[in-house]
Chain A
């Protein structure tokens, strides 16, 4: 079973913990407490391997670090985004400045991690507050604005709602598939190399049947 490290970053009260809880426990709390430090949760998902002929699903596991958005805990973040396979940078669709905070996180990730294999996903949360006809539209960040930015920066981009659960599962699913894809390619190339080197060693053996090793059968 493959394990992937996943970290959530973003300003306080954008709904990081809510998203994780929706994903892990499929629950939502209207009065969630602000996170202290960084919380740890894990969840498994099934991935359908389309390329292989086997019909069996592959199971992958997420180790999720849900960091606190409060400024006070900012110094903890590097410890958790270091070595992460994917980072979910969350902003609140109804708060314009939460997007610029998210952009800061993206910059930090790109500067500090510098790993091309790190998947960064920009998540706009609280989508339920936007298209509710009775309460009026509270949207402050236009979808296009975030989308253009995400494309520029080569990020995955989704708008979700932790409250209704809209899009949350899909986010993790697609991230999982992407990570699995990368992992598989990595393993294939490794296998290829191993195969190649194995072939070489066979050749060597064929070329040099005799050896100085006294324990060898060819001695």
Chain B
């Protein structure tokens, strides 16, 4: 049944109708589509076929008749398009406009339909839609060959696909939302002023601090309802903030500012009784007229929901907080951040100096003393910065945080600084540095610069193993120094003066070596 309907439809639907994947034009058969692709879209890569784009390609023979018709139509339409801007082959125009190859049977000779310049076949392979006046018409134009320049200069061309800019749309949406919020806040602020002023007036009129009569309560209640319309009790089944259903244990309350019905659950804090004085003092920028913090009943409070509190006071509290001087913890954190910047800045400088020195050494030239001096200076600076950094890190670690936020900040900075330090030290360790060291060659005692691990000198940050080795060596040296000293005593007693000279020389050497190791150990050694 259904297939019958299809075949007997009003419009003759042809099963083999083909659509061009590029321009969506439909064709009766594959041959026509092939030809269209070759001719209109330049997919025909066979260069041996010259000519003006009318080449009969490799289409399948079954569609030959309709192709003939198509070609005729194409020729006809070509005639319709203006051609007076087309350059004609002439002595001035005998080479391709782009690649300058001669225009001939082999290379081809095609006018760009848009600019009219003459091109070889290869340089006129792009297609675009032009109308009869050779203007770009993406909707009704005909697909024609054009040069690359015309192709990319057409309106709307991009080489990365289509882009839809949604930023403006986003901005308007956001703007609208912000406007709504602002309006809401203004409305709530007006109500707050009215409420507080009104209640203050009523309280003042009836004498402050006196027993709250029914009449006064009634008067205030009336005022509250004029300031904001209370929502109907009966309609509310759940608290709009925490979604718990009201009942015997969960009482309904009206927020005096927005009028909505909320619960008073102590854990969700959906609403609270807030003293007038607190509300007014936390928003001193609002134009209260009747409210007097000295005279108003300090304990008189009104019920306000958490959402209203949020809208009215979170922004105010934030602005107040950032105006206050930073806490000690934050101040330290800021200094430590600045120091890390300093270290990060010195580091590449020192690095490049060391590289220069190293290069000089590789070429067996003694490095420029000014360079060494600069490197030494930078190294000292770095050392000081890292030292301060360490002190600050320790200070931050030893602080006791006053609240959860501070604790979080403290922990984050501890992690960050330890990562920073290990990163920097690891980097530093891989860098050699100049340091004077006694030349170990026989007979020469002059010191020559020698490449040594930066870590040895910059940080005294030897590994535990290195420290152990150094200490052991120091102990042995001190033992030997003691031995040689006693040998000298003995030699003196026995008047072996030439031996004393030898031993004295050795004693000097030992002392030098001891000092060297002590310096290397720094504060980790013992004296």
Contact = CB atoms under 8 A, between A and B. Distances in A.
Contacts, number: 46
Nearest to B475: A72
Interface in B493-527: 496, 498-499, 502-503, 506, 509-510, 513
Nearest to B480: A37
Interface stretch (A76-84, A91-99, A135-143, A170-178): A76-84
How would you classify the secondary structure of chain A's contact residues: helix, strand, loop or mixed?
A: mixed
A4 to B, nearest CB: 11
Contact of B442 (A73, A76, A79, A82): A82
Contact of B479 (A36, A40, A79, A114): A36
Nearest to B509: A79
A75 B476 contact: yes
Nearest to A41: B499
A78 B513 CA distance: 11
A39 to B, nearest CB: 8
Contact of A112 (B440, B487, B502): B440
Interface size class, chain B: 20 to 34
Contacts of A3: 498
Contact of B477 (A40, A76, A112): A76
B443 interface: yes
Interface residues of A, number: 21
How would you classify the secondary structure of chain B's contact residues: helix, strand, loop or mixed?
A: helix
B483 interface: yes
Interface string A3-27: 1000000000000000000000000
B473 interface: yes
Given A76-B476, A76-B477, A40 B502 contact: yes
A17 to B, nearest CB: 14
B483 A37 contact: yes
B233 interface: no
Nearest to A42: B499
B480 A40 contact: no
5 contacts: A37-B476, A38-B483, A42-B499, A72-B476, A114-B441
Interface of A: 3, 36-40, 42, 61, 63, 72-73, 75-76, 78-79, 82-83, 112-115
5 closest Cβ contacts across the A-B interface? Answer: A37-B480, A75-B473, A37-B483, A63-B502, A83-B442
Given A37-B480, A42-B499, 12 more contacts: A37-B479, A40-B487, A40-B506, A42-B496, A63-B499, A73-B476, A75-B477, A76-B480, A79-B509, A82-B442, A112-B440, A114-B441
